[in-house]
């Protein structure tokens, strides 16, 4: 039960670390595209993971530079040096943290060189199972469509069994994680119809390259919607909801909004409940779906980004007024929405405790 899990977490945090650190074999990991924000976040989080050692970090922009050139906070915490190519020699697993299009170009070669390498792709390249969907949402052809069916979509709270033992995992998008966690309990309960979602995002989601949308003089005081109803995370959300429901499920009308903050996804979903539903039943659907899920915190009050920033938690809230239901999900786009979830997936893939190295609070204030 959730409550029990919680009461033990504090002890877990230290024991986990202790027992793991003393058990011998650790996993050797590499990171491709390690100079970006998700690469930096992987390095930050894996620095404290008791069973993973990062051995090789590749970056085409900072070859032969210490990692703290791209990630100044790692100065004194890591003596890794970027290389142009990944040294896959002894690696057990690789995180692909480059942008969309990079993974599909690299994965075939990686698997040719080490057929049993475990891969976790943080881009959108292997999330959609339908080969026709990729060009429609990503405006380019997929160059490795034969691999699509081999990748498992890795949102452990909703499909832990599929991730467990998988070799190749597609890590969900940040909006997708928030929306899927907000809607899966209702999809699982059989609800259908259109959900209206407005979801705010921090600027770190746009990556480390300066651009007009992340220019501080305009971004700092702005709200700006983009790709209304056309964001590329929509098909992966619907694909997952269908899978969770076991049939065609909720459709998602998503309006993403750039907000003047650095980290965070804050998704507000609204829909109308069918007959027979009330607040109690909604609450029960969420409680049963997330029983035993350490990283989903069900709240009685509206979530705040500053309770989750820096952590792997996703805070979820629901409120019912008559037929109307509002669901809000809040997470850190770089942690539960990217690097943290990628590590969580690795934990599950390898049969470890899902929370290994990840059960830390965020930064507040």
| Residue environment code for 16-46, b if the CB has 16+ CB neighbours within 10 A, otherwise e | bbeebeeeeeebbbbbbbbbbbbbbbbbbbb
**Is 65 an interacting residue with respect to a second copy (CB under 8 A)?**
no
Nearer to a second copy, 187 or 308 (CB): 308
Give the one residue of 313, 343, 344, 354 binding a second copy; rule: CB under 8 A: 313
Give the one residue of 87, 89, 141, 211 binding a second copy; rule: CB under 8 A: 211
**Is 319 an interacting residue with respect to a second copy (CB under 8 A)?**
yes
- Cα separation values, 87 from 26, 30, 56, 250, 331, Å: 18, 8, 6, 43, 33
For residue 158 the two structure tokens come to 């909703």
Number of other CB atoms surrounding residue 133 within 10 Å: 17
Give the one residue of 270, 277, 279, 283 binding a second copy; rule: CB under 8 A: 270
> Which segment (39-47, 89-97, 152-160, 166-174) binds a second copy by CB under 8 A?
39-47
For residue 240 the two structure tokens come to 């997952």
**Is 203 an interacting residue with respect to a second copy (CB under 8 A)?**
yes
**Is 248 an interacting residue with respect to a second copy (CB under 8 A)?**
no
Give the one residue of 30, 33, 310, 340 binding a second copy; rule: CB under 8 A: 310
Q: How far is the CB of 104 from a second copy (least distance, A)?
A: 26
**Is 307 an interacting residue with respect to a second copy (CB under 8 A)?**
yes
| DSSP secondary structure of 47-93 | TT-TTEEEEEEE-SSSTTSBGGGT-GGGTTT---BEESS---TT-SE
> Which segment (56-64, 89-97, 152-160, 299-307) binds a second copy by CB under 8 A?
299-307
Residues annotated as part of the active site: 174
5-34: which residues touch a second copy (CB under 8 A)? Answer: 6-7, 9-10, 13-15, 17-18, 21-22
**Is 224 an interacting residue with respect to a second copy (CB under 8 A)?**
yes
Greatest Cα pair distance, the chain, in angstroms, is 62
Q: How far is the CB of 2 from a second copy (least distance, A)?
A: 9
Give the one residue of 303, 316, 336, 339 binding a second copy; rule: CB under 8 A: 303
Q: How far apart are CA 348 and CA 364, in angstroms?
A: 28
Q: How far apart are CA 140 and CA 263, in angstroms?
A: 28
Question: What φ, ψ does residue 283 adopt, rounded to 5°?
Answer: -60, -45
Whether 286 contacts 185, CB under 8 Å: yes
Q: How far is the CB of 147 from a second copy (least distance, A)?
A: 31
**Is 44 an interacting residue with respect to a second copy (CB under 8 A)?**
yes
Query: What DSSP state is assigned to residue 309?
Result: T
**Is 291 an interacting residue with respect to a second copy (CB under 8 A)?**
no
**Is 362 an interacting residue with respect to a second copy (CB under 8 A)?**
yes
For residue 3 the two structure tokens come to 């409550």
**Is 221 an interacting residue with respect to a second copy (CB under 8 A)?**
yes
**Is 326 an interacting residue with respect to a second copy (CB under 8 A)?**
yes
Give the one residue of 169, 285, 308, 342 binding a second copy; rule: CB under 8 A: 308
Give the one residue of 38, 59, 78, 83 binding a second copy; rule: CB under 8 A: 78
Q: How far is the CB of 146 from a second copy (least distance, A)?
A: 32
Q: Is the torsion defined by CA of 97, 98, 104, 109 positive or negative? A: negative
**Is 196 an interacting residue with respect to a second copy (CB under 8 A)?**
yes
SS3 32: strand
Which residues lie closer than 8 Å to 211 by C-beta, 6 or more apart?
A: none
- Binding residues for a second copy, how many (CB under 8 A)? 95
Q: Residue 264: which region, alpha, beta or left (left: phi > 0; alpha: psi -120 to 50)?
A: left
């Amino acid at each position: 039960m959730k409550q029990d899990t919680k009461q033990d977490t504090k002890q877990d945090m230290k024991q986990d670390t202790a027992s793991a650190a003393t058990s011998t074999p650790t996993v050797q990991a590499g990171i491709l595209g390690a100079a970006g924000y998700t690469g930096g976040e992987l390095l930050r989080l894996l620095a404290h993971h008791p069973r993973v050692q990062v051995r090789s970090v590749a970056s085409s922009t900072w070859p032969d530079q210490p990692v703290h050139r791209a990630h100044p906070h790692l100065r004194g915490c890591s003596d890794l040096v970027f290389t142009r190519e990944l040294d896959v020699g002894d690696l057990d697993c690789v995180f692909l943290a480059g942008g969309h299009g990079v993974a599909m170009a690299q994965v075939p070669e990686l698997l040719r060189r080490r057929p049993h390498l475990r891969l976790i792709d943080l881009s959108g390249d292997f999330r959609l199972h339908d080969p026709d969907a990729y060009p429609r949402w990503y405006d380019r052809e997929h160059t490795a469509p034969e691999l699509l069916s081999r990748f498992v979509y890795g949102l452990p709270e909703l499909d832990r069994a599929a991730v467990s033992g998988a070799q190749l995992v597609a890590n969900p998008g940040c909006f997708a994680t928030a929306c899927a966690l907000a809607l899966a309990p209702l999809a699982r309960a059989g609800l259908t119809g259109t959900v209206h979602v407005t979801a705010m995002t921090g600027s770190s989601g746009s990556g480390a390259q300066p651009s007009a949308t992340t220019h501080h003089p305009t971004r700092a005081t702005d709200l700006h919607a983009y790709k209304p109803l056309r964001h590329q995370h929509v098909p992966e959300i619907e694909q997952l909801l269908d899978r969770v429901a076991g049939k065609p499920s909720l459709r998602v009308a998503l309006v993403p909004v750039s907000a003047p903050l650095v980290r965070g996804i804050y998704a507000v979903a609204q829909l109308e409940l069918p007959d027979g539903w009330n607040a109690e039943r909604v609450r029960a659907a969420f409680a049963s779906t997330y029983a035993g899920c350490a990283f989903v915190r069900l709240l009685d009050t509206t979530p705040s980004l500053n309770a989750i920033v820096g952590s792997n938690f996703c805070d979820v809230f629901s409120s019912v007024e008559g037929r109307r239901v509002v669901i809000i999900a809040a997470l850190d786009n770089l942690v539960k929405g990217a690097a943290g979830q990628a590590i969580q997936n690795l934990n599950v893939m390898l049969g470890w405790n899902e929370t290994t190295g990840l059960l830390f609070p965020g930064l507040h204030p």
